[in-house]
């Protein structure tokens, strides 16, 4: 009995006996891809842009860009504010891409 099973027995845990190691025979089949969601996504994006306050989004994105240019600055709070204001992930990514080197994604 190996050490784990000896400990389990001493503490009265019910542990199954060890079995043969797992050896994969073939990869599991991938599920079929869902149908394209572009129409629904476009509709949701249009609703978001109609609902949000554009001035608040622009101000939050400017603050995010400012934080991205400061070495050692924390970009998460302004990123959170931008997303809370209704900015999309694409808009936030574009701001960060503009201010950071797109090759290595590091600030500065």
Q: Where are the domains of the chain?
A: 52-108
pTM of the predicted protein model: 0.59
In the block, residue with structure tokens 């000896």: 6
Q: Which pLDDT score, from 0 to 100, does residue 68 have?
A: 93
- pLDDT single digits (tens) 31-84: 776 667 777 888 888 999 999 999 999 999 999 999 999 988 899 999 999 999
Q: How far apart are CA 64 and CA 82, in angstroms?
A: 7
Residue 54 confidence (pLDDT): 94
Listed in sequence order, the residues at least 6 apart from 19 whose beta carbon sits closer than 8 Å to its beta carbon are none
């Amino acid at each position: 009995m190996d050490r784990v099973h000896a400990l389990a027995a001493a503490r009265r845990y019910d542990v199954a006996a060890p079995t043969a190691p797992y050896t994969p025979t073939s990869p599991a089949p991938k599920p079929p891809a869902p149908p394209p969601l572009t129409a629904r996504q476009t509709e949701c994006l249009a609703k978001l842009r109609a609902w949000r306050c554009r001035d608040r989004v622009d101000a939050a994105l400017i603050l995010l860009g400012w934080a991205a240019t400061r070495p050692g600055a924390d970009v998460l709070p302004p990123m959170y504010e931008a997303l809370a204001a209704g900015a999309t992930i694409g808009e936030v990514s574009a701001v960060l891409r503009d201010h950071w080197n797109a090759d290595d994604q590091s600030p500065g």
